[in-house]
Amino acid sequence: MNEEELKRVSENYDAFFFHPNTYRCARLAVGATLQLVDSVMSGKGRNGMALVRPPGHHSQRNAANGFCLFNNVAIAAEYAKLKYGLQRILIVDWDVHHGQGTQYIFEEDPSVLYFSWHRYEHQEFWPSLKESDYDAVGLGKGKGFNINLPWNKVGMGNSDYLAAFFHVLLPVAFEFDPELAIVSSGYDSGIGDPEGQMNATPEVFAHLTHFLMQLANGKLCVILEGGYHLKSLAESVCMTVKTLLGDPVPQITGEMAPCLSAVESIQNVRAAHKPYWKWLTYEGNFSFLKQM
């Protein structure tokens, strides 16, 4: 097909443009992701990062979407289950957009725990789906294994991201006890990115990576998703890779209390998932949430 024909085909999809090299590039992205899974699962490498394009987390089983042709992370999870017999895989999506494609693929699958935080603004921000809200917990046997943490305002920063990890993701993840952790690693959730409009600094991604390295005996695959501010993207990727290599995490300075909007979202998610995760029923150190 020529470029004009590809342009017409692209009109059938939401936020996706086909180029003559799209298919080849997308196959290379999937291949690199699977190669990383093989390296980690075989013990050749304890962890790693796949710097791939195009991204994948919006892609669905039968439709390209949102710059994504193949869902690299979802394919990697299915591949790991089939080739290595894994029964518990954690996917953490810290891209600023909801990975609705990944959610749709695994929403009935209790072998995959999917966690996504994303700019939502009460369904005003793309992909503007009701099922991106906190009460979309999964379907059938997959109830409780789909965790959405919607950010309902821009400007979320380091303290908000860390609070989400401490009070939602990590308690559930340790209870789930994954055999492999995969990150849909979008850095449009970082400071300066025009898509996300968030304030999280590159240093926080080092800390998030460090926390995830404590799971699955350190088996962690980080797969690049979005990121559209070159300086912020480069520095955030660098922080992530340095942490994977074992460098000490940098100090985070500034305000460390989450904002009220973040606290509200965290409370909503915890309430929605308490029926499924016993660690979320314990108040303990989380009591400050009720006081804000």
pLDDT value of position 13: 75
pLDDT value of position 36: 99
- The answer, yes or no, to whether residue 81 has pLDDT greater than 90, is yes
What is the pLDDT averaged over residues 271-282?
A: 95
> Which is higher by pLDDT, 22 or 129?
129
Catalytic residues: 58
| pLDDT tens for each residue of 186-235 | 999 999 999 999 999 999 999 999 999 999 999 999 999 999 999 999 99
- The answer, yes or no, to whether residue 71 has pLDDT greater than 60, is yes
CB atoms within 10 A of CB 234: 13
- The answer, yes or no, to whether residue 22 has pLDDT greater than 70, is yes
Distance CA 192, CA 284 (A): 35
Percentage, residues of the chain above pLDDT 90? 85
Query: What is the token pair recorded at 48?
Result: 């790693």
Which of 53, 59, 61 has its CA nearest to residue 24?
A: 53
Which letter, b or e, does each residue of 255-288 get, where b requires 16 or more Cβ atoms within 10 Å of its Cβ?
eeebbebbbbbbbbbbebbeebbeebeeeeebee
Q: Which domain holds residue 229?
A: 3-291
Distance CA 23, CA 244 (A): 30
> What's 130's domain CATH number?
3.40.800.20
CB atoms within 10 A of CB 208: 24
pLDDT confidence tier of residue 171, bands split at 50, 70 and 90: very high
- The answer, yes or no, to whether residue 287 has pLDDT greater than 70, is no
For the chain, what is the domain count? 1
pLDDT value of position 2: 78
pLDDT value of position 118: 99
Query: What is the token pair recorded at 68?
Result: 């994504």
- The answer, yes or no, to whether residue 59 has pLDDT greater than 90, is yes
What is the pLDDT averaged over residues 86-106?
A: 99
pLDDT value of position 11: 75
Query: Chain-wide mean pLDDT for the chain?
Result: 95
What is the pLDDT averaged over residues 84-99?
A: 99
| pLDDT tens for each residue of 132-141 | 999 999 999 9
89: β partners = 112, 180
pLDDT value of position 284: 54
pLDDT value of position 135: 99
pLDDT confidence tier of residue 27, bands split at 50, 70 and 90: very high
Give the DSSP letter string of the chain.
--HHHHHHHHTTSSS----TTHHHHHHHHHHHHHHHHHHHHHTS-SEEEE--SS--TT-BTTB-BTTBSS-HHHHHHHHHHHHH--S-EEEEE-SSS--HHHHHHHTT-TTEEEEEEEE-TTTTSTT--GGGSTT---SGGGTTSEEEEEE-SS---HHHHHHHIIIIIHHHHHHH--SEEEEEE--TTBBT-TTT-B-B-HHHHHHHHHHHTTSGGG-EEEEE-----HHHHHHHHHHHHHHHTTPPPPP--S--SPPHHHHHHHHHHHHHHTTT-GGGG--GGGGGGGG-
